[in-house]
Copies of this chain bind each other. A is one copy, B any other.
């Protein structure tokens, strides 16, 4: 197993920033840059290298390059997911113009420039690690006459027995993920991109998420979710030799317009927190197979210790139960299936039934969703101890092309290919 305490390597004279809660470091195409003028504003942020507070605002993520932003960057404190359908009558031409507008806006806002004056909400704030990521859904291709360019990987996900999906909050022709460490910066980007849509596309659904604030904890520990679990520990790390192959479509991959791209599976997963919180900590830990306090496997050690899956307790039972979530989701239990999980938590108040409308905006990234998400979810669907405490309420699958080249817009190779 990868040692998460590895020193961050240096690329092009700019220190790589360690990923909080996801993978190990910011890869090529996802550099975290300083704001307005470079080195001085650069945030050497990370659990073991606390940055000055003001770098929260000034931290800037690069636009363009090999991959789109928002995949390898540290989890941000705020997130918006929004899906659009092309308007009736809008086709390939309108979509191309829209993606051109969107790309220009994303590039500008990620630099910390303000959105159009009348919309402008976050005036005077820095980019605050803003990332904007664009994806295409299955239905996009028939609406634009681009069926021949549709990747097989976009074939609809199979139904799972535990699915309770709201179709109105699922799928969509186009998808945008927005993340930032400041709520107004994220909301400003959301409004600006929505305005750009103009007559070309209509909002299908929109969701809000969050993660903890940088600096809330001094522990060099991965993120937590709303069940209180350390979440993200065993994500694939960019330093691993098979990372790129698992997460990104290779340069020589199919279809060509997806080179450097990735597939995002988006699941709104409700947590049944009233039930969950009735369990003892002990029972909660058996559901996952890891300790709640520090994320260490129940067989001992620290968060990064490899679990001893064969260990049997004094009671003759496996210490990490056979149906523990972190046992059965492992690549070695699923033919090597792996994905990069980069979620937001959500909390939309109280649902009609009086329980909290809260959980995980589960977003995972992989080169092949069939060998990533689908393989693992098939297994979880059959026998995950966590199943009784969660409910998949919506679903999306989006093709997220590589980062745009200089002067290019996202998806240009698809739309003008």
Contacts and interface: CB of A to CB of B under 8 A. Distances in A.
Contacts of A354: 203
A216 B181 contact: yes
Contacts of A212: 122, 125, 182-185
A291 to B, nearest CB: 10
B183 A345 contact: yes
Given A118-B284, A277-B119, A52 B54 contact: no
B183 A228 contact: no
A30 interface: no
Interface in A201-233: 203, 205-208, 210-219, 221, 224, 226-228
Interface string A33-58: 00000000000010000111111111
A123 interface: yes
Interface string A349-360: 110001010100
Contacts of A146: none
A191 interface: yes
B292 A117 contact: yes
A189 B143 CA distance: 47
A251 interface: no
B228 A195 contact: no
A281 B118 contact: yes
Contacts of A294: 124
Interface string A102-113: 000000000000
A90 B388 CA distance: 33
A187 B122 CA distance: 25
Interface string A333-364: 00000000000010111100010101000000
A217 B182 CA distance: 9
A50 B224 CA distance: 26
A118 B52 contact: no
Nearest to A119: B277
Given A57-B217, A126-B217, A206-B349, 4 more contacts: A121-B228, A124-B294, A125-B217, A185-B216
7 contacts: A51-B53, A53-B53, A117-B292, A121-B224, A124-B294, A181-B213, A187-B345
